Amino acid sequence: MSDLPGLLALCSDSRQPNDRTDFRSSRIYAVMEDPFTLWCSFHAPREQAVQENSTYEADKSRREHEIRARWASEHFPGFVAVENVWGAEALALTLKYMAQGRPAIQYPALWFLKDHIYGKANMIVRSDSAPSVFGDYHYTLVQFKQALEIKRHYSVQGALLNKILGLMQGYQPQEFRIFL
């Protein structure tokens, strides 16, 4: 069994993420495809930001969530989800589930703030092919995208999340999977 308080301190650098100094994996799209939006997130007045949430986007998000939960329950009975918790609480729950050796963890918080990187993955799946700080197993990354083809920023985001996962568990998976 691993030292959960020590792992939490290591992964969080004993602090919360800071959008000005830490890089969130979801910003990969903005860096690669929409740099103006990224510039605005740092320099434009926040009070003048216009939220672009539409009914279509909300329905799409809800459907994606339902499809992912159904897929996870079919392929990984007994999977757990890190939902309705944020920040350090989400990270602590992710680490707890990893230490318990759960078969799959949906929406894990992946942080390594010492290196100023963090994000939230779609799923990590247990593998018994190599040990980690948690025991005779480690986790591998699985990402889901609703698209007809794998876009470059999907691969870069997956690579960053995979790197964070490796730093957290003391074992770097050699690959990750993206499902369309």
Break the chain into its structural domains and give their ranges.
Answer: 4-179
Dist CA 12 CA 112 (whole Å): 6
Predicted confidence (pLDDT) at residue 39 exceeds the cutoff of 90: no
pLDDT tens-digit map of 79-89: 999 999 999 99
Reported as a single tens digit per residue, the pLDDT across 162-175 is 999 999 999 999 99
For 135, which DSSP code? Answer: B
Query: At residue 1, does pLDDT exceed 60?
Result: no
The pLDDT value given to residue 49: 75
Give Cβ neighbours of residue 120 (< 8 Å, ≥ 6 apart): 25, 26, 90, 107, 108, 109, 110
- Residue 115 corresponds to which amino acid? D
CB 111 within 8 A of CB 11: yes
Res 42: pLDDT: 81
Nearest-angstrom CA–CA distance, 76 and 180: 18
